[in-house]
């Protein structure tokens, strides 16, 4: 069912770009790989990046979740984990671009869902390939499809269309495991990226995982089909779900999201087991993160991400393991950003960390062990501007000008919301006292509002000054098409 649904809704938009796309499984630059660059090191270590789409930090065991997630947790328990890591934008294109480049989306240029990651961006794969590594990616997500720029630097980039459906975690693991087993022992060092999609809407876990979060055995039911058919209007569900779903249905959907989290953890567990069996777990530099979270009813936003800037969609797990460098159980507090992942992974693997990245190298802090604090205190967040639904009651201004901006400064967060030409609503939250962002302090005369507003102005001006301005990189600028990007109607 799900495969048919995605194929139908996405067919029109994919067709127009098909002629320009690379084959779905591609081998890139084999000639360039031979004799290009010198190995980092010595000795070069394998580097493995595992990302899970739409995984909220509070659904991860290390973050205190009641859900058992031993496979995600292994990366942090045996290395370091960030208690408060954040996505720059709560969408895949923007956040994954930041993971791969160490740049804020306004710097790497993929700042709208479905946009292309420009050639000017330099990915981790390109850097490792230049260093003599073999590079491979096993991916699932339509906006990361070959031709969208995320394949830059990969010798092998596999993201076949049948895997753009939700139940793909075990397929992705299977292909990555087969690739690992096929590699000759003692071959070139490698950079491997595996990306999972299952916790993304629709929430339709396999029955054995559905039963783990819903002992009644009711399972996913037909909600996804009702949304797809229009019987439950998608936009109305996103912003006013209680008007179209019963409390029991809302609860059931949330349980199925949790089941998808467990399903993906099981698939990651198979990958971890293979890495251990083949001797890579102890030898490699390993990174684990999600690209963004998911709103599950907070702030009247249901089963989505990308249109608001609350921490339900910005707070992400981020973990790093590097045996012999990071003491097990290291915890890093403070403001950690997805942009920090790339420079830190490069440093841990002995590769040069390029100057000019937005992200900072956390390796010197992580090597201390115990509980350490991030050297950066601020993060700038933005909402998407391409996939914005008409039903959103809080986005009265269209396009780029309608984007929400937010500045996180320590435990304070200012959100600026355009409501008309030159007019903004503001929200200020003390995240230490109010992590749910329910008490708006902006109108209370707090001096912090003005201070954060000025700081956001400075930081955003700097980001925009350096941002690529060529909208030609927008692979799919048609909003009507973007509305159907893997999300149903
Ligand atoms: Zn995503």
Q: What residues have CB less than 8 Å from 383, skipping those under 6 apart?
A: 89, 90, 306, 307, 308, 309, 403, 404
Distance 377 CA to ligand 1 centre (A): 25
pLDDT at 445: 82
Report the distance separating Cα 107 and Cα 117, nearest Å.
Answer: 11
Report the distance separating Cα 314 and Cα 100, nearest Å.
Answer: 17
> Quick one: average pLDDT of 391-418?
96
Distance 348 CA to ligand 1 centre (A): 26
pLDDT at 469: 60
- State yes or no: pLDDT of 18 exceeds 70: no
3-state SS string for the chain: CHHHHHHHHHHHHHHHHHCCCCCCEEECCHHHHCCCCCCCCCCCCCEEEEEECCCCHHHCHHHCCCCCCHHHHHHHHCCEEECCEECCCCCHHHHHHHHHHCCCHHHHCCCCCCCCCCCCCCCHHHHHHHCCCEEEEECCCHHHCCCCCCCCCCCEEECCHHHHCCCCHHHHHHHHHHHHHHCCCCCCCEEEEEEECCCCCCCCCCHHHHHHHCCCCCCCCCHHHHHHHCCCCHHHHHHHHHHCCCHHHHHHHHHHHHHHHHHHHHHHHHHHHHHHHCCHHHHCEEEEEECCCCEECHHHCEEECCCCCCHHHHEECEEEEECCCCCCCEEEECCEEHHHHHHHHHHHCCCCCCCCCCCCCCHHHHCCCCEEECCCCEEEEECCCCCCCCCCCCCCCCCHHHCCEEEEECCEEEEEEEEECCEEEEEEEECCCCCCCCCCCHHHCCHHHHHHHHHHHHHHHHHHHHCCCCHHHCCCCCHHHHCCCCCCC
pLDDT at 215: 87
pTM: 0.90
Distance 108 CA to ligand 1 centre (A): 17
Distance 92 CA to ligand 1 centre (A): 3
Distance 146 CA to ligand 1 centre (A): 16
Distance 111 CA to ligand 1 centre (A): 13
> Quick one: average pLDDT of 209-218?
93
> Quick one: average pLDDT of 463-470?
73
pLDDT at 40: 61
> Is the separation of the CB atoms in 92 and 141 below 8 Å?
yes
- State yes or no: pLDDT of 101 exceeds 70: yes
Average pLDDT, the chain: 88
Distance 446 CA to ligand 1 centre (A): 35
Distance 378 CA to ligand 1 centre (A): 22
pLDDT at 468: 65
- State yes or no: pLDDT of 36 exceeds 70: no
Structure tokens of 478? 């048609």
pLDDT at 186: 83
Report the distance separating Cα 211 and Cα 206, nearest Å.
Answer: 9
Report the distance separating Cα 308 and Cα 228, nearest Å.
Answer: 23
Note the pLDDT tens digit of each residue in 112-169: 999 999 999 999 999 999 999 999 999 999 999 999 999 999 999 999 998 887 799 9
Question: Between residues 265 and 12, which one has the greater pLDDT?
Answer: 265
Distance 267 CA to ligand 1 centre (A): 18
Distance 291 CA to ligand 1 centre (A): 5
pLDDT at 467: 73
- Name the β-bridge partners of 442: none
Distance 143 CA to ligand 1 centre (A): 9
pLDDT at 394: 96
Any idea which residue has 């997630």 for tokens? 69
- State yes or no: pLDDT of 282 exceeds 50: yes
Distance 44 CA to ligand 1 centre (A): 31
pLDDT at 307: 96
pLDDT at 39: 59
> Quick one: average pLDDT of 33-62?
80
Distance 93 CA to ligand 1 centre (A): 7
Distance 162 CA to ligand 1 centre (A): 18
> Quick one: average pLDDT of 338-354?
97
- Residue 229: Cβ within 10 Å count: 12
Distance 294 CA to ligand 1 centre (A): 9
pLDDT at 20: 30
Question: Between residues 487 and 444, which one has the greater pLDDT?
Answer: 444
- State yes or no: pLDDT of 29 exceeds 50: no
Angle between the N-to-C axes of helices 247-277 and 70-77, in degrees from 0 to 180, rounded to the nearest 10 = 50
The least confident of 125-129, 288-292, 441-445 is 441-445
Distance 91 CA to ligand 1 centre (A): 5
Distance 288 CA to ligand 1 centre (A): 14
- State yes or no: pLDDT of 486 exceeds 90: no
Distance 24 CA to ligand 1 centre (A): 20
What pLDDT band is residue 396 in, cutting at 50, 70 and 90? Answer: very high
What pLDDT band is residue 1 in, cutting at 50, 70 and 90? Answer: very low
Distance 449 CA to ligand 1 centre (A): 30
> Quick one: average pLDDT of 460-467?
86
> Is the separation of the CB atoms in 486 and 6 below 8 Å?
yes
3-state SS string for 239-282: HHHHHCCCHHHHHHHHHHHHHHHHHHHHHHHHHHHHHHHCCHHH
Distance 266 CA to ligand 1 centre (A): 19
What pLDDT band is residue 57 in, cutting at 50, 70 and 90? Answer: very high
- State yes or no: pLDDT of 356 exceeds 70: yes
Structure tokens of 31? 């000639």
> Quick one: average pLDDT of 39-43?
62
Question: Between residues 88 and 4, which one has the greater pLDDT?
Answer: 88
Distance 8 CA to ligand 1 centre (A): 21
pLDDT at 201: 95
């Amino acid at each position: 069912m799900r495969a048919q649904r995605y194929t139908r809704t996405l067919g029109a938009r994919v067709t127009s770009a098909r002629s320009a796309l690379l084959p779905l499984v591609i081998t890139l630059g084999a000639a360039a790989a031979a004799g290009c660059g010198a190995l980092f090191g010595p000795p070069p270590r394998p580097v493995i990046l595992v990302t899970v789409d739409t995984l909220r930090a509070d659904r991860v065991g290390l973050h205190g979740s009641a859900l058992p997630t031993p496979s995600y947790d292994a990366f942090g328990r045996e290395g370091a984990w960030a208690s408060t890591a954040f996505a720059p934008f709560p969408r895949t294109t923007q956040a994954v671009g930041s993971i791969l480049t160490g740049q804020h989306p306004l710097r790497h240029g993929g700042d709208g869902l479905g946009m292309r990651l420009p050639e000017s961006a330099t990915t981790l794969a390109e850097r490792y390939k230049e260093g003599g590594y073999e590079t491979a990616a096993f991916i699932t997500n339509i906006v990361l499809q070959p031709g969208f720029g995320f394949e830059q630097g990969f010798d092998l980039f596999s993201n076949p269309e049948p895997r753009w459906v939700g139940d793909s975690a075990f397929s992705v693991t299977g292909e990555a495991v087969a690739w690992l087993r096929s590699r000759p022992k003692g071959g070139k060092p490698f950079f491997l990226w595996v990306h999972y999609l299952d916790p993304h809407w629709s929430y339709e876990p396999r029955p054995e995982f559905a039963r783990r979060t819903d002992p009644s055995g009711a399972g996913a039911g037909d909600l996804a089909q009702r949304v797809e058919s229009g019987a439950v209007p998608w936009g109305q569900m996103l912003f006013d779900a209680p008007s179209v779903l019963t409390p029991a249905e809302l609860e059931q959907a949330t349980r199925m999201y949790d089941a998808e989290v467990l399903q993906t953890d099981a698939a990651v567990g198979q990958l971890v087991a293979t890495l251990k069996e083949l001797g890579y777990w102890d030898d490699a530099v390993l990174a684990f993160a999600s690209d963004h979270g998911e709103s599950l009813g907070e702030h009247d936003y249901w089963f989505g991400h990308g249109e608001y800037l609350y921490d339900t969609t910005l707070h992400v797990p981020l973990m790093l393991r590097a045996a012999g460098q990071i003491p097990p159980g290291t915890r890093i507090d403070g403001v950690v950003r997805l942009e920090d992942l790339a420079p830190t992974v490069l440093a841990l693997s002995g590769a040069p960390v390029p100057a000019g990245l937005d992200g900072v190298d956390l390796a010197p802090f992580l090597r201390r062990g115990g509980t350490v604090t991030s050297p950066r205190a601020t993060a700038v967040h933005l909402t998407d501007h391409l996939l914005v639904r008409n039903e959103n009651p809080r986005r009265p201004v269209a396009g780029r000008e309608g984007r929400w901006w937010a500045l996180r400064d320590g435990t304070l967060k200012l959100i600026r919301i355009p409501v008309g030409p030159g007019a903004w609503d503001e929200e200020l939250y003390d995240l230490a006292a109010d992590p749910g962002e329910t008490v708006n302090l902006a109108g209370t005369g707090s001096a912090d509002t003005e201070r954060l507003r000025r700081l956001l102005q400075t930081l955003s001006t700097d980001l925009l000054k350096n941002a690529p301005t060529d909208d030609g990189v927008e692979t799919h600028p048609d909003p009507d098409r973007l509305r159907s990007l893997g999300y149903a109607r």
